[in-house]
């Protein structure tokens, strides 16, 4: 089937090289390094390590540095545009971490101070700034985040779910990443020397890049995003596969997605971080795909490694290559490592190129490759019209709550009882190999437990290849342990284990390891709507004959949860847990079906919402039960939204406010999703809601609503 072309209509960039396309291109032509000793925050002791630090960032009151970097790049990309994008997708790992670290050290316990901590607040700030009325999604897959965000945007536009998407990656320097990579001995004290014989590691950096993508050919497109490929090594939490198997798979998938062969590629922008292992594994992968490689280079000796921003920054570098014929050199490279058997560009070149391959690889073996090219001539283009309904088949499900696993949880909920609480440690670790989970704290153990149970719940033959996990707050136990030890030891002895475990995509990476799931591996983080984001990602990525895990989980951490999550309840009301599903597009043997119907801001008008749900008639005929998720911190707005929605639907439908019974945690929605699936399978909602006891048949649906700051709708029905 011919793929709908996706154009890059605008681009913005800010990095250690400067701000804007022109400044970036000029700096790349100079072929010098912008890496300097850290000065952004004071160190307790010791010399500053070299970093890629952004100078002269505009001051924006109250907003954390990550958000300011993102806004700067976003405003450049949107310059001269009258219309708002239909969606915003941002890759980030740091969110408000730089500021939160400081607040935590000063013992600040005022929750309002942490309101921009969450990764999802970056997309919200950017989305609000450009007037986006649609989904604002956040992916956090370590150093491939930017490339993964672009992949989701490409899929969204090809499927006709949007006409215009603002997408990119951003991270600011912070202590977590600065000391974290140092603790892994991955930082080169002499600055970054990618592909060099004497390379000793990376330079941690910061920056942002945003691209405005559209499936409507603009007057003067900058470039075309032709293809994208994702893969997971499923090999090790932090080290790449030694033969570059995952890197190779990502590049292959990207080329196939673009419909081109390796010989068509004119330039490869390498991930090229400057660590011994990355550069070696990447070189092996490149050589096995390209017997005679085209010109290639890494810019990370100039910029440093801007982590979640890198994939987007280098997508902009690819745009510069096709627009201006600028092939940047590999700054820092003195003597190419012969073991790599590559001839990287040392100096920049000016050359006409049509097609560029850009690589981004990250922790958890998370790989993304993009193909960016000169816009092709318009042929008879298939219209980006008909939206497919996006149904996913559910084959198996599991959950963890204060009541325990799925059966115990469902029994209590259907009897009208609360399951809110924290599953006991031995419940969370049940069935897991103690040797394999010894380094894992609460959230990754939950993810392993959930995926294992969900897999056991489905019929044979559906081994998942891909993993999509939503988490509001990530691995808080590891994050807290890392920051606490860092502070206690005067920044001398940060824990490498805790750093590796602290990344948001750590738990999903563990699931991939357990199931050798080498397909896409995407972690989304959307606060109280994280599970919905994971479902959207799964829907965008899943091919016809493939099974995948979709998870949502969050942990309650004594110190951080009460500060970060405004809905979290302390004392006896502490709650956490989550769920996992095995899903496919249309493999046989499904228990029920689910689709993401709507995701948009809390200010969405009810008419649009009802239309998105299929209209008033559809809702009246099909909707037998509403499971409403109203976070405690957004209860006034949520109740008002619910009241207006019901008034607009004009139907008497029982409503179950599930957060009261499941607990106040970001992924409570994931448990509500298991509840919806269970009720449909049983055909009876028992004593769930005082509003009535619907019995289900035929085409009846359950709608799971997320309300408050964002409005989400998922529809569940029988197969």
Partner 1 sequence: MDTLIEELKIKLIDILNLADVSPEDMDADAQLVGGELGIDSIDVLEMVVMVEKDYGVVINSQEVGEKVFSSLNSLTAYIRDNRAEDA
* Residue 209: both structure tokens together: 């890049």
Compute φ and ψ for 695, nearest 5 degrees: -110, 135
Query: CA 275 to CA 495: how far, in whole Å?
Result: 19
Which residues face 401 on adjacent strands?
404
- Smallest separation (angstroms) from partner 1 to the CB of 439: 6
Residue labelled with tokens 């497919």: 388
Q: How far is the CB of 487 from partner 1 (least distance, A)?
A: 14
500 binds partner 1 (CB under 8 A): yes
Candidate list 130, 132, 143, 592, residue with the active-site label: 143
Stretch near partner 1 under the rule CB under 8 A, chosen from 343-351, 365-373, 436-444, 549-557: 436-444
Near partner 1 by CB under 8 A: residue from 492, 650, 660, 693: 492
Spell out the SS3 assignment of 515-577: HCCCCCEEEECCHHHHHHHHHHHHHHHCCCCCEEEEEEEECCCCCCHHHHCCCCCCHHHCCCE
Q: How many CB atoms lie within 10 A of CB 378?
A: 8
β-bridge mates for residue 468, sequence order: 522, 550
- Binding footprint of partner 1, residue count (CB under 8 A): 20
Cα 95 to Cα 43, 140, 309, 474, 566: the distances in Å are: 21, 10, 12, 12, 16
Distance CA 88, CA 212 (A): 9
Shortest approach of partner 1 to residue 496 CB, angstroms?
A: 4
Binding of residue 493 to partner 1 (CB under 8 A): yes
Give the nearer residue to partner 1 in terms of CB position, either 183 or 557.
183
679 belongs to the binding site for partner 1 (CB under 8 A): no
CB of residue 238 to partner 1, shortest distance in Å? 6
Q: Three-state SS string across 686-700, please?
A: CCCECCECCECCCCC
Q: Could you count the other beta carbons within 10 Å of the beta carbon of residue 417?
A: 12
Using CB under 8 A, which of 42, 61, 431, 435 touches partner 1?
Answer: 435
Residue 346: burial class (beta carbons within 10 Å; 0-12, 13-18, 19+): middle
Is 143 considered catalytic here?
yes
From 23-31, 181-189, 255-263, 364-372, span contacting partner 1 (CB under 8 A): 181-189
Q: Is the dihedral of CA 11, 712, 526, 507 positive or negative?
A: negative
- Which C-beta is closer to partner 1: that of 206 or that of 555? 555
Which is it for strands 164-171 and 87-92: parallel, antiparallel or unpaired?
parallel
Q: Which stretch binds partner 1 (CB under 8 A): 23-31, 486-494, 624-632, 704-712?
A: 486-494
Pick between residue 444 and residue 472 the one whose CB is nearest to partner 1: 444
Are the C-beta atoms of 225 and 316 separated by less than 8 Å?
no
| Of the residues 39, 83, 185, 352, which one makes contact with partner 1 according to CB under 8 A | 185
Asked if 271 is an active-site residue, the reply is yes
Cα torsion 242, 248, 249, 251: sign: positive
Contact between 183 and partner 1 per CB under 8 A: yes
- Piece of 32-40, 127-135, 366-374, 492-500 that binds partner 1 (CB under 8 A): 492-500
- 184 touching partner 1, by CB under 8 A: yes
Least distance to partner 1, CB of residue 232, Å: 18
Considering 67, 117, 182, 271, which one is annotated as catalytic?
271
Among 39, 190, 489, 620, binds partner 1 (CB under 8 A): 489
Annotated active-site residue in 67, 182, 241, 305: 305
Q: Could you say whether residue 439 binds partner 1 (CB under 8 A)?
A: yes
Q: Is 180 in the site for partner 1 (CB under 8 A)?
A: no
Residues 200-239 that bind partner 1 (CB under 8 A): 236-239
User: C-beta of 210: minimal distance to partner 1 in Å?
Assistant: 34
Question: What are the structure tokens assigned to 643, written together?
Answer: 């009241």
Give me the active site residues, please. 143, 271, 305
Where along the sequence are the contacts to partner 1 (CB under 8 A)?
183-185, 236-239, 434-436, 438-439, 489, 492-497, 500
């Amino acid at each position: 089937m011919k793929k709908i072309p996706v154009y890059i209509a605008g681009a913005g960039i800010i990095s250690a090289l400067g701000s804007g396309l022109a400044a970036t291109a000029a700096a790349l032509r100079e072929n010098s390094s912008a890496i300097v000793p850290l000065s952004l925050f004071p160190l307790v002791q010791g010399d500053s390590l070299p970093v890629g630090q952004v100078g002269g960032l505009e001051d924006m009151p109250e907003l954390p540095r990550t958000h300011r970097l993102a806004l700067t790049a976003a405003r450049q990309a949107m310059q001269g545009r009258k219309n708002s994008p239909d969606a915003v997708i941002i890759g980030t790992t740091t969110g408000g971490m730089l500021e939160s670290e400081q607040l935590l050290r000063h013992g600040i316990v005022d929750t309002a101070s942490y309101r921009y901590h969450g990764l999802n607040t970056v997309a919200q700030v950017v989305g609000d700034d450009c007037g986006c009325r649609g989904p604002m999604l956040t992916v956090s897959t370590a150093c491939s985040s930017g490339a993964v965000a672009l992949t989701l945007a490409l899929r969204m536009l090809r499927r006709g779910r949007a006409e215009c998407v603002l997408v990119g990656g951003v991270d600011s320097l912070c202590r977590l990443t600065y000391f974290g990579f140092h603790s892994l001995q991955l930082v080169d004290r002499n600055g970054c020397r990618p592909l060099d014989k004497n390379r000793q590691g990376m330079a941690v950096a910061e920056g942002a890049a945003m691209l405005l993508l559209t499936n409507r050919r603009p007057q003067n497109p900058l470039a075309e995003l032709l293809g994208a490929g994702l893969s997971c090594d499923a090999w090790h939490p932090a080290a790449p596969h030694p033969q570059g198997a995952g890197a190779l798979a990502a590049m292959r998938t990207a080329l196939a997605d673009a419909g081109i062969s390796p010989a068509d590629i004119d330039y490869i922008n390498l991930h090229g971080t400057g660590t011994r292992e990355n550069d070696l594994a990447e070189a092996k992968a490149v050589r096995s795909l390209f017997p005679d490689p085209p010109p290639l280079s890494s810019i990370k000796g100039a910029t440093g490694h801007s982590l979640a921003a890198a994939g987007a920054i280098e997508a902009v570098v690819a745009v510069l290559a096709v627009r201006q014929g600028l092939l940047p050199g590999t700054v820092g490279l003195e003597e190419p490592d012969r073991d790599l058997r590559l001839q990287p560009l040392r100096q920049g070149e000016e050359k006409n190129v049509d097609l560029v391959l850009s690589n981004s690889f990250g922790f958890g073996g998370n790989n993304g490759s993009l193909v960016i090219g000169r816009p092709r001539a318009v042929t008879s283009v298939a219209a980006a019209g008909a939206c497919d309904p996006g149904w996913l088949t559910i084959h198996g499900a599991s959950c963890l709550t204060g009541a325990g696993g799925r059966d115990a949880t469902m029994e209590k909920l259907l009897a009208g009882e609360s399951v809110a609480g924290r599953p006991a440690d031995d419940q969370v670790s049940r069935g897991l190999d103690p040797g394999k989970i010894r380094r894992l704290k609460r959230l990754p153990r939950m993810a392993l437990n959930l995926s294992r149970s969900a897999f056991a719940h489905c019929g044979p033959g559906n081994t998942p290849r891909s993993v999509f996990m939503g988490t509001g707050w990530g691995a808080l136990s590891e994050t807290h342990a890392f920051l606490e030890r860092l502070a206690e030891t005067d920044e001398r002895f940060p824990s490498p284990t805790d750093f590796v475990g602290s990344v948001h995509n750590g738990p999903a990476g563990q699931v991939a390891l357990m199931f050798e799931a080498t397909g896409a591996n995407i972690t989304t983080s959307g606060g109280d709507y994280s599970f919905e984001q994971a479902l959207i990602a799964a829907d965008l990525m899943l091919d016809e004959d493939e099974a995948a895990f979709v998870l949502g989980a969050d942990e309650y951490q004594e110190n951080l949860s009460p500060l970060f999550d405004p809905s979290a309840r302390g004392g006896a009301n502490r709650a956490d847990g989550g769920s996992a599903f095995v899903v496919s597009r249309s493999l046989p043997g499904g228990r029920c079906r689910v689709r993401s119907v709507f995701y948009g801001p809390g200010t969405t008008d009810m008419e649009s919402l009802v239309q998105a749900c299929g209209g008033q008639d559809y809702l009246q005929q099909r909707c037998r039960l509403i499971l409403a998720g109203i976070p405690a911190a957004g209860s006034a707005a949520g109740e008002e939204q619910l009241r207006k929605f019901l008034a607009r639907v004009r139907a008497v439908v029982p409503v179950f406010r599930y957060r009261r019974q499941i607990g106040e945690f970001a992924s409570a929605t994931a448990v509500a999703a298991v509840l919806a699936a269970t009720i449909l399978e049983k055909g009876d909602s028992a004593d769930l809601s005082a509003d009535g006891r619907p019995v289900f048949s035929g085409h009846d649906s359950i709608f799971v609503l997320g309300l408050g700051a964002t409005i989400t709708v998922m529809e569940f029905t029988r197969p």
